[in-house]
Amino acid sequence: MIKAFLGISVAAILQSGAVRSPEISTDRHVTFRIQAPNAQAVTVSGEFMRGSKPLERDARGVWSVTLGPVEPEIYNYTFTVDGVKMIDPNNPNVKTGSTPSTIASVLEVRGDQPAFYDNQPVPHGEVHTHLYESKSLKMNRRLTVYTPAGYAQNAQTRYPVLYLFHGANADENAWIQLGHANLILDNLLAAGNAKPFIVVMPFGYGILPGAPGQDPAAGFAPSDLLFSRDLLEDVIPFIDAQYRVLKDRDHRAIAGLSMGGGQSLKIGLNHLELFSYVGGFSAALTGVALPETFGSFMTDAQASNRKLHVLWFGVGSDDPFLGVNQAFANFLETGKIQYVFRKSDGAHTWMVWRRYLNEFAPLLFQ
């Protein structure tokens, strides 16, 4: 996904090799191609459509199909060649993460106007990558941090912080590479639609599922517990020491998507001494026992409402987590907790999460 940052669409201009894929026409039809002379069947599937479409073979053994017009967006897609799922070998724009299930090719379709997540000619923040020592997990871990435009120049200014978590199978770069969080915040800040703040993006697994010594049936819970310890005992102290941040609860927000949304809601709502803005994007609340998980925060709703400047969570109408998010809203309702529940179009995809960040960020630190 790094290509999006070069200010030129590499996929669009690249013509090396005999086969060009994806090729985007001026009217936003997209042609996918792959050279596979010995294949019996090739299909493409992606976030721009439901199901899959067959490609057709030409005399040279190049398979192709043209789809569209496709709405301007950033989409994942894969080919399936004789039953083997694979990325588009002619597209350098590859989505990667922490597990193989996340690997896909990326199609960026541009509109006539730049999108809210595009690299626009505005002042840009900076993305920092650290290796920090996690004493709680006994390892060096990588941490991604965004500082807004002006951070280096305004050397006396302290900034609020958003802790922002990725989903399952992704990693600490996902909110930059796939979420364009830096570009979204650059654009909001330039338009005067958000306050300047720092974003901290840790690696969301305490330990990956299936790691040695971990019960494969135990799911994410042990990982979440370790992640929470690392966040509270290592990441936040590291940020407080390394960056010019405001260290009080009024200037700390916490949010995440999917697995990270479950984490941000659980950690945030149980640590209102640390956070006053809490967000969940398509939060993976499946299997979460609501009274046990959020009981202590609910016992004094008036006090919690006073402390919580914003509790915002959203989910798409085609997202499998719609039901658990609705149940969470109902649970908060019965407990008289104030919240914003944003039901939007869309499924469990980065298209939705980019938009949610664009909606959530303007609410912070106002």
Q: Which residues of this chain interact with a second copy, rule CB under 8 A?
A: 2-3, 5-8, 10, 13-17, 34-40, 81-92, 94, 96-103, 119, 121, 124, 126-133, 139-142, 152, 171, 173, 176, 203, 207-212, 216, 242
Q: What is the CA radius of gyration of the chain?
A: 22
Residues 6+ apart with CB under 8 A from 189: 122, 123, 125, 148, 149, 195, 196
CB 188 within 8 A of CB 182: no
Helix spans in 125-190 (H): 174-177, 181-190
What 3-state class would DSSP assign to 343? strand
Residues 6+ apart with CB under 8 A from 141: 131, 132, 134, 202, 203, 230
Closest approach, Cβ 83 to a second copy, in A, equals 5
Strands 73-81 and 84-86: antiparallel
Nearest to a second copy of 83, 192 (CB atom) = 83
Nearest to a second copy of 125, 268 (CB atom) = 125
Closest approach, Cβ 1 to a second copy, in A, equals 9
Closest approach, Cβ 27 to a second copy, in A, equals 18
Nearest to a second copy of 169, 304 (CB atom) = 169
Closest approach, Cβ 224 to a second copy, in A, equals 17
- CA 270 distance to own-chain centroid: 23
**CA-wise closest residue to 65 among 75, 52, 51:** 52
Between the CA of residue 270 and those of 111, 208, 282, 301, 302, what are the distances in Å? Answer: 42, 24, 19, 13, 15
Strand intervals (E) in 135-177: 139-147, 161-165
Identity of residue 259 = M
Between vectors from CA 78 to CA 77 and to CA 82, what angle results, nearest 5°? 155
Pull the structure tokens for residue 327.
Answer: 């149940």
Closest approach, Cβ 21 to a second copy, in A, equals 9
Identity of residue 16 = S
Closest approach, Cβ 221 to a second copy, in A, equals 16
Nearest to a second copy of 36, 298 (CB atom) = 36
Closest approach, Cβ 57 to a second copy, in A, equals 13
Closest approach, Cβ 137 to a second copy, in A, equals 8
Nearest to a second copy of 2, 225 (CB atom) = 2
Nearest to a second copy of 51, 121 (CB atom) = 121
Nearest to a second copy of 147, 264 (CB atom) = 147
Nearest to a second copy of 100, 192 (CB atom) = 100
